[in-house]
């Protein structure tokens, strides 16, 4: 028997609601954000999201049931990734909608970064100009595996845990621009603080790799095998 118009519409909206239910938990949104940086093991995601492995696995199973993430077994580990590029685009759209509708997000970000950064972040257009003129060095302070999955063109991998030991690798006489996972990632603010304490001019780029690509700028590039 053919479905009635009402049955058809109910079926469609029920499937749409599956996505909404899957992303209704804050930690599941954070996991999607982390997976936007590149595939990760359950253990790595648990550490980054400050969750137990068991809770992380449960959240990932919900996302997987909604076809938002996929997983493969690699040796002893289960590696998760976003199911499609559209999932990353969905997350960015959801984040933008929340930013537009809830002033609390902007207030919280300004309050945090005014204390931990102190300067307005550099704009993407200004950064592009300074890179073209050879006036700035861009550093990626995310974990090395995220850098290998994709990074801003010309960026140097300088993970925050290795930061102080590797500062001598930075070119002299240039402003340093640090970025991490996006506008609410705090690692770049910490890197900027450390640089300024050593007399190195530094600013933070709010955009992460996913944001950079979404704005139709030059695609982030994957690092060759065997490099950091």
Give the mean pLDDT per block of 10 residues along the chain (228 residues).
88 95 97 95 96 98 98 93 95 95 93 81 86 88 92 91 89 91 92 91 91 71 51
Q: Known catalytic residue: 180?
A: yes
Q: Specify the pLDDT at position 176.
A: 94
Which CATH number, 1.20.1260.10, 3.40.109.10, 1.10.10.10, 2.40.128.130, labels domain 5-88?
1.10.10.10
As annotated, the residues of the chain forming the CATH 1.10.10.10 domain(s) are 5-88
What is the distance between the alpha carbons of residues 188 and 146, in angstroms, rounded to a whole number?
Answer: 14
Q: Which CATH superfamily is domain 102-214 in?
A: Rhodanese-like domain (3.40.250.10)
Residue ranges, comma separated, of all CATH 3.40.250.10 domains in the chain are 102-214
Determine which one of 42, 180, 187, 210 is catalytic: 180
pLDDT of residue 227: 46
Contacts of 178 (CB under 8 A, 6+ apart): 138, 139, 141, 187, 188, 191, 192, 195, 202, 203, 204, 205
Angle at which helix 26-35 crosses helix 42-49, to 10 degrees, equals 120
Query: In terms of Cα–Cα distance, which of 79, 87, 84 is closest to 39?
Result: 79
Please give the pLDDT value at position 225. 45
DSSP string, 48-60: HHT--HHHHHHHH
pLDDT of residue 220: 62
């Amino acid at each position: 028997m053919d479905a009635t118009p009402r049955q058809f519409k109910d079926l469609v909206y029920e499937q749409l609601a599956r996505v909404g239910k899957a992303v209704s938990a804050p930690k599941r949104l954070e996991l999607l954000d982390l997976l936007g940086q590149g595939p990760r093991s359950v253990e790595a995601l648990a550490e980054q999201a400050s969750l137990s492995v068991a809770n992380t696995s449960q959240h990932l199973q919900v996302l997987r049931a909604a076809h938002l993430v996929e997983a493969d077994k690699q040796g002893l580990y289960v590696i998760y990734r976003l199911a499609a590029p559209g999932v990353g685009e969905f997350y960015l759209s959801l984040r933008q909608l929340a930013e537009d509708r809830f002033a609390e997000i902007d207030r919280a970000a300004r309050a945090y970064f005014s204390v931990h950064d102190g300067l307005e972040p550099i704009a993407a257009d200004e950064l592009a100009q300074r890179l073209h003129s050879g006036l700035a060095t861009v550093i990626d302070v995310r974990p090395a595996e995220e850098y290998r999955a994709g990074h801003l063109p010309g960026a140097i991998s300088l993970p925050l845990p290795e930061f102080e030991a590797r500062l001598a690798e930075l070119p002299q006489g240039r402003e340093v621009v640090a970025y991490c996972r996006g506008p609410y990632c705090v690692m770049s603010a910490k890197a900027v603080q450390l640089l300024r304490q050593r007399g190195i001019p530094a600013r933070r780029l709010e955009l992460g790799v996913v944001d950079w690509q979404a704005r139709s700028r030059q695609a982030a590039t994957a690092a060759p095998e065997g490099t950091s």
